[in-house]
Structure 1
Amino acid sequence: MSFPKSQIQILAEKSRYRRIWIGTLILLCCILIGLSFGTVPIPIKHSISILTQSINFINLESEWTDAHEIILLKLRFPRVILACIVGAALASSGAAFQGLFRNPLADPYLIGVAGGAGLGAAITLLLKISFLVNLEFFLPIAAFSGAIITVLTAYFISLKSGKVSLISLILAGVAISASTSAVTAFLMIRSNPDLRPLVSWLLGGFQSAEWNQILILLFYLIPSWILMMAYSRTLNTLQLDEKMAKQLGVNIEKTKVIIICTATLTTAAAVAFSGIIGFVGLIAPHAVRLIWNNDYRTLIPTSALLGASFMIIADLISRTIIAPSELPVGIITTLFGTPFFLYLLRKHNKSS
């Protein structure tokens, strides 16, 4: 038997959808900025016209050069879309980890998931596994294998009396990240004397963005995002207490397995094609909490939208700040993320 929704529930739903629309508009603006600005600036109205003509096959009067069209469609468009998807993946997985561990500082980078995913992908790339028919399609699986081992290791190390210790989780994640970085560096030195491409990949970037990478990435991410949203109400219930959540009918162990697997796969797929990019999963969910609230039905999608916007702007900074050269985008996100993390850690210690 279903009951009609109250006025408060209707208003809450409208408010939730409004926030998602606001996040979508911000993202669309960032996409246009990412497409229009760079070493070769393209007027925003020309960017819109080029996209409209290419997508809808409408013949518009050309006010732009062929060079502008090639730069936008062949170079910037796949790069901006890949940055958008990777940012959304890292931010949504960060929000899911924070909800599961009831830990505001849980982040794929800080708890070692990104490092483990990077190691798994690096092993596959460096060893040049020849029996794989499609290496790009297998990369997220290899990254997931490394990531799931690291996240479970950090989780069990930090588990105490059935609860996850905040400090232990971060310390375990930092230690595991350091170990995976050391192993990855060793494999790189042993396998390839020219380390520049691999170092650039490990520090994160979208220089080699291609449409087939985006399609493969979406193949892994869409089911993960659907599962995250399906469990968003359950994550809300978990914020009360595990005992109370059990009394309300939540299957705690099943929820943990599903959220850990989906959030880890989301991170791993992103890392496989972008390298290790830190702090996006920390910054975006906290920014959403500061603006709105802690309802995971809103927090996960709006974090994804804000993370996508942040990643596009970070990538734009990385390719323009020392133009014509580029900085790895992971350096830009770390420069933003480190002081933000220290601020949150200090705030958490004061509240404790």
Structure 2
Amino acid sequence: MDRRSLIKNAGIAGVLAAGVAPAVHAQEAIRWRLASSFPKALDTIFGAAETFAKKVGEMSGGKFQISVHPGGELMPAIAGMVDNVQKGTIEMVHTAPYYFFGVNDVFALGCAIPFGLNSRQMTAWMYQGNGLKLMREFYSKYNIVNFPMGNTGAQMGGWYRKEIKSVADIKGLKMRVGGFAGKVLTRMGAVPQNIPGGEIYQALEKGTIDAAEWVGPYDDQKLGFNKVAPFYYYPGWWEGGPQLDAFVNKTAYDKLSPENKAILESAAAYAHTDMQAKYDAKNPEALKQLVAAKTKVLPFPKAVMDAAFKESMALYTEMSESNPDWKKIYTDYAAFRKDQNLWFRFTEMRFDQFMQAQKL
């Protein structure tokens, strides 16, 4: 009896008993590479990619392996990432989409914009609103399929060599700031710099820049910013809930089996939740340590916040008039933000205000 007849007549139990494995169950091993925008020293933001790759390996029984490479190892931490994943030079990258606002401002909407959604609202827009659908339609122009893969939560407003007492102190300020926020700071008179995380300390130490923001206490302490700038401001009004993404080359993605596509999606969702949990767990102790080391933690003056908000809203209006893709996606984003803020005003905000007042 030939193999085909055996499978047809004996059924799966008989086949297995006969020691003949159906060919349909054989899966070819897959080896991908992932380039990160972040230094390996940061176990939170770089670690999300490692968590993701580990889960992909576990769920595939070792058949789908992804090697993770820190910023600068396979390619620069920011420059060229979109081109490389678009062309298929590499299968995927893990990055902050707003780094690529120079390609198109719409990339920022997939990460964070000044006075935008917080982390929970961003996840809601992506998974239950139109966010993932709209962003995937946009990214398809670049041969990219995106997966939400991490969020830091609301960030701090950065480290400054001098105090920020008024809007006038923003003028002429040379500041490292991630991505799209530089547009607003430019309108306020600052001189933004888009510098990878691993290069910020040296620039701040040498005085090449006057200020720098990264994420929050846990990462910032690891990077040593408190040693070269004494003033630590909050909040990071430009990053209320910045989402990290996995950008996957669409051609490579389309070749995957349905099972492996599901594995990618599930592993990215796990890493998405795990990353913010790490930040929320690790930031409090790091902040206490920074304060004990004489860091001056200060709120931005209200006049600075008001000016930044005004310039942000004016910028979005102008961009809606000049960029059809921005107008389409931002219109949906802004409507979702309005409803979310209405709901949070009755629940999260009131609860948080009361709890913070208790100082438990």
Higher percent of residues as strand: 2
- Higher RCO (Cα < 8 Å, 6 or more apart): 1
Q: TM-score, normalised by structure 2?
A: 0.30
Q: TM-score, normalised by structure 1?
A: 0.30
Which structure is larger by alpha-carbon Rg, 1 or 2?
2
